[in-house]
């Protein structure tokens, strides 16, 4: 809920400022007047999550009120209780912190408004305790795997699309054991998926360590003959990446749920020992660097594929590339359209070669050094056998462009404006193009470049006194829906704005008494289910609104249409854009019809 998140951010900023000021007097702070006092007070408790367990020692900070000065801070006692006295009337924000705990967005308290002399004794602050994940990694022979990295990825809902974010990492010890601490409550995937992108054999490493000049020899030979010269041992083995649940793909991996303070043990992973093969070839038709190129297991080639992606060991100026330590299987070689360098050697091997690599890998300066480098994309499915895959040709393709026009209905303005907007992937995908942005010309025309095939959403900047009436491609209405971009350029994206304002909703919770002990949120979402699958494209149709102490709420700027409205506890509103949860909420929601420029009213049962 944006209003509370921003307040929380402000609270943290104030705490940092206060910590810097320490115990200095007003005079030492430049003559700032002391905060006003009064006869009001606030008291309450800090508890763990939705339980009644106290969080002793939590630091509770209060700021705001008339003539607000530095934040007041107290420590919670053994029962988690805190107390602020001598408060003037005004609006206050209150937050709690303690190492090893987290104040999640769903539990951020709302501002407290005190009248003169008012006493509030019902304030409840909730912190969730961080947990841990632990287990043992073994190979398929039952032997422990020492010194491999195990990573935890949290499933998070971003604009209605599930994504994975790496949130923790640990290395197995001499018993094959790992432990990832400081884990926030949520749902996780655990993967023993770290690879060594430069599996040089021990003989070569020993030689280079004792004879540093060999380092230059290897680099120079790699430039002329390819990276094969840097791998002498063809019998190397590696561990195949494996998720907890002993699955090699994200789709089949077991999910681990962490609640407040959970210590989940026994999360063991078995990873088979497989040949460490080489995949090599050449990119044809343009210039790329290691930042553009990746090898993705075919089963993980969607939005979450960046987890299992293998970086190149070496990419050379003439387009030759090498991946090392690749387990046999099916893969996709992908070139992502990003701005890159102008050639020269790049890749994980440079980190090993160190500064000496720059002397032998520096490219010649091109004549048009100031011209922007062209950007390409490519996808090439391959099969990697026990002996690896060689001589792969990956043909680069020019990126896709999207052009069209912005139209303003009933446009009487004498001075035209340039409209800013962007096209971004849906869902977010680190292994593909990250989208593009532009501004329309004064005549409304625009062109975007730098895209590759995929699903995208159009995000428009607001225009004062106008709202979006429609977005079409080839005459088909795609308003508030994702668009599918293929391999051909799109030349007829039309965005139409209409003068006026959108509608709004004023609501109330039936039978609600003032000053509730639990925080409530109103959820507003469209009745039409076609928008539920990807809310990121229809974000203006989905909204949350705080329910105040009198049981009232307001939601603004909705296009005309029919909506569901329901009221839930704040902690139930977390990840509510999951289509499965939207379906559940719809069963007890009230319907309301919104018209352009008007406000609808609705009474919602609790």
Tracing tokens 């030759």 back to the chain, one arrives at 320
Confidence of residue 492 (pLDDT cuts 50, 70, 90): very high
Instruction: Give me 526's structure tokens.
Output: 């469209």
pLDDT, one tens digit per residue, over 310-351 is 888 888 888 888 888 888 989 999 998 876 555 567 777 766
Both structure tokens of 438: 């532009």
* CA distance readout (Å), 401 to 350, 375, 407, 438, 460: 34, 12, 20, 12, 17
pLDDT for position 196: 56
Query: Counting every residue, how long is the chain?
Result: 606
Average pLDDT (435-453) is: 88
Where is average pLDDT lowest: 216-220, 570-574, 587-591?
A: 216-220
pLDDT score, position 29:
46
**Domain topology for 503-604:** Immunoglobulin-like (2.60.40)
Model pLDDT for residues 158-186, shown as the tens digit of each residue: 666 677 888 899 999 999 999 999 998 88
Give the other-Cβ count within 10 Å of 41's Cβ: 16
CA dist 104 and 186 (Å) reads 11
Q: What is the mean pLDDT of residues 427-454?
A: 84
**Mean local confidence (pLDDT), 84-106:** 86
Instruction: Determine the pLDDT at residue 135.
Output: 97
Over 50: is that where the pLDDT of 40 sits?
Answer: yes
What is the rounded average pLDDT of the residues 553-581?
A: 90
CA–chain centroid gap for 450, Å, is 22
For residue 28, what pLDDT band results from cuts at 50, 70 and 90?
A: very low
Residues contacting residue 491 through CB under 8 Å, at least 6 positions apart: 403, 404
Q: What is the pLDDT of residue 281?
A: 92
- In this predicted structure, the answer to whether residue 297 has a pLDDT above a threshold of 60 is yes
3-state secondary structure 564-586: EEEEEEHHHHCCCCCHHHHHHHH
- pLDDT of 34 reads 57
Identify the pLDDT of residue 167: 87
* pLDDT value of position 201: 42
Stretch 472-498: mean pLDDT: 93
For a pLDDT cut of 70, what percent of the chain falls above it?
77
Q: Which residues contact 457 (CB under 8 A, 6 or more apart)?
A: 423, 424, 426, 482, 483, 534, 536, 537
| Mean of pLDDT values over 524-534 | 94
> Which range in 238-242, 518-522, 528-532 is most confidently predicted, on average pLDDT?
528-532
Average pLDDT over residues 11-22: 35
Residue 50's pLDDT is 73
pLDDT at 363: 52
Spell out the residues 6+ positions from residue 211 whose beta carbon is closer than 8 angstroms to its own.
none
Q: Please name the fold of domain 130-199+236-275.
A: Immunoglobulin-like (2.60.40)
What top-level class would CATH report for the domain 400-499? mainly beta
pLDDT for the residue 418:
82
> Token pair 């090993």 is at which residue?
352
Query: What pLDDT, on the 0 to 100 scale, is given for residue 12?
Result: 34
For 544, residues 6+ apart whose C-beta sits below 8 A from its C-beta are 1, 521, 522, 523, 524, 573, 576
Count the neighbouring beta carbons within 10 Å of the beta carbon of residue 97: 19
pLDDT band for position 509 (50/70/90)?
A: very high
Distance CA 529, CA 526 (A): 7
Q: 496, 409 in Cβ contact below 8 A?
A: yes
Beta strands in 310-461 (DSSP E): 314-315, 320-326, 329-335, 376-384, 389-395, 397-398, 400-408, 420-425, 436-439, 445-451, 454-460
Average pLDDT over residues 369-384: 78
Cα angle, residue 544 at apex, residues 538 and 550 outer, rounded to 5°: 155
The count of C-alpha atoms lying within 13 angstroms of the C-alpha of 207, restricted to the half-sphere facing its C-beta, is 14
| Averaged confidence pLDDT in the chain | 80
Provide the CATH number for the domain formed by 2-129 in this structure: 2.60.40.10
Q: 213-225 and 202-210 helices cross at what angle (nearest 10)?
A: 130
Each residue's pLDDT tens digit, 183-237: 988 899 999 986 654 554 443 444 444 444 444 444 555 555 554 544 445 566 7
In this structure, are residues 129 and 49 in contact, taking their beta carbons and an 8 Å threshold? Answer: yes
State residue 355's pLDDT score. Answer: 54
> Are 118 and 88 spatial neighbours (Cβ–Cβ below 8 Å)?
no
Q: Which residue has the higher pLDDT, 296 or 372?
A: 296
Per-residue model confidence as pLDDT tens digits over 111-146: 888 888 898 888 888 899 999 999 999 998 899 998
pLDDT at 382 over 90: yes
């Amino acid at each position: 809920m944006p209003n509370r998140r921003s307040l929380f951010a402000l609270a943290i900023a104030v705490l940092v400022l206060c910590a810097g000021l320490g115990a200095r007097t007003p005079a030492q702070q430049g003559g700032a007047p002391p905060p006003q006092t009064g006869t009001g007070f606030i008291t309450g408790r800090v508890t763990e999550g939705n339980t009644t367990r106290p969080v002793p020692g939590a630091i509770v900070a209060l700021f705001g009120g008339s003539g607000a000065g530095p934040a007041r801070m107290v420590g919670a006692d053994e029962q988690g209780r805190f107390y602020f006295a001598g408060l003037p009337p005004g609006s206050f924000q209150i937050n709690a912190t303690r190492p090893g705990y987290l104040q999640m967005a769903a539990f951020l308290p709302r501002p407290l408004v005190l009248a003169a002399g008012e006493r509030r004794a019902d304030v409840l602050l909730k912190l969730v305790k961080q947990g841990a994940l632990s287990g043992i990694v073994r190979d398929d022979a039952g032997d422990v795997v020492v010194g491999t990295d195990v990573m935890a990825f949290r499933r998070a809902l971003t604009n209605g699309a599930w994504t994975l974010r790496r949130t923790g990492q640990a290395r197995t010890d001499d018993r094959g054991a790992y432990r990832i601490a400081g884990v926030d409550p949520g749902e996780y995937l655990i993967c023993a998926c770290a690879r060594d992108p430069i599996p040089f054999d021990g003989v070569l490493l020993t030689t280079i360590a004792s004879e540093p000049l060999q380092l230059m020899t290897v680099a120079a030979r790699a430039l002329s003959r390819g990276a094969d010269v840097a791998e002498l041992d063809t019998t190397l083995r590696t561990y195949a990446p494996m998720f907890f649940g002993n699955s090699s793909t994200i789709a089949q991996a077991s999910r681990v749920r962490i609640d407040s303070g959970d210590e989940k043990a026994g999360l063991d992973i078995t990873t088979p020992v497989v040949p460490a093969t080489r995949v090599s070839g050449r990119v044809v038709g343009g210039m790329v660097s290691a930042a553009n190129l990746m090898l993705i297991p075919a089963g993980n080639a969607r939005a979450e594929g960046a987890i299992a992606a293998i970086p190149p060991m070496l990419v050379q100026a003439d387009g030759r590339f090498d991946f090392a330590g690749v387990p046999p299987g099916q893969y996709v070689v992908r070139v992502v359209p990003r701005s890159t360098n102008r050639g020269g050697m790049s890749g994980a091997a440079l980190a090993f070669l160190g500064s000496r690599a720059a002397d032998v890998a520096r490219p010649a300066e091109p004549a048009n050094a100031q011209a922007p480098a062209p950007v390409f994309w490519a996808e090439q499915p391959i099969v990697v056998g026990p002996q690896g895959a060689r001589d792969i040709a990956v043909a680069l393709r020019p990126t896709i462009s999207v052009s069209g026009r912005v139209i303003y209905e009933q446009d009487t303005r004498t001075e035209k404006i340039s409209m800013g907007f962007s096209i971004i992937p849906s869902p977010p995908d680190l292994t593909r193009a990250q989208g593009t942005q532009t501004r329309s010309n004064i005549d409304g025309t625009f062109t975007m470049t730098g895209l590759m095939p995929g699903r995208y959403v159009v995000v428009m900047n607001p225009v004062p006194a106008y709202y979006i009436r429609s977005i079409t491609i080839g005459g088909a209405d795609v308003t508030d829906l994702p668009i599918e971009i293929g391999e051909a350029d799109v030349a007829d994206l039309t965005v139409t704005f209409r003068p006026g304002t959108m509608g709004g909703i004023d609501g109330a919770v039936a039978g609600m008494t003032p000053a509730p002990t639990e925080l409530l949120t109103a959820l507003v979402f469209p009745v039409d289910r076609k928008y539920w699958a990807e809310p990121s494209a229809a974000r203006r149709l989905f909204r949350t609104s705080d329910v105040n102490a009198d049981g009232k709420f307001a939601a603004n700027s909705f296009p005309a249409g029919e909506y569901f409205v329901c009221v839930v506890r704040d902690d139930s509103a977390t990840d509510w854009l999951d289509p499965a949860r939207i379906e559940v909420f719809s069963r007890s929601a009230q319907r309301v019809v919104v018209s352009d420029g008007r406000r609808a009213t609705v009474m919602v049962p609790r």
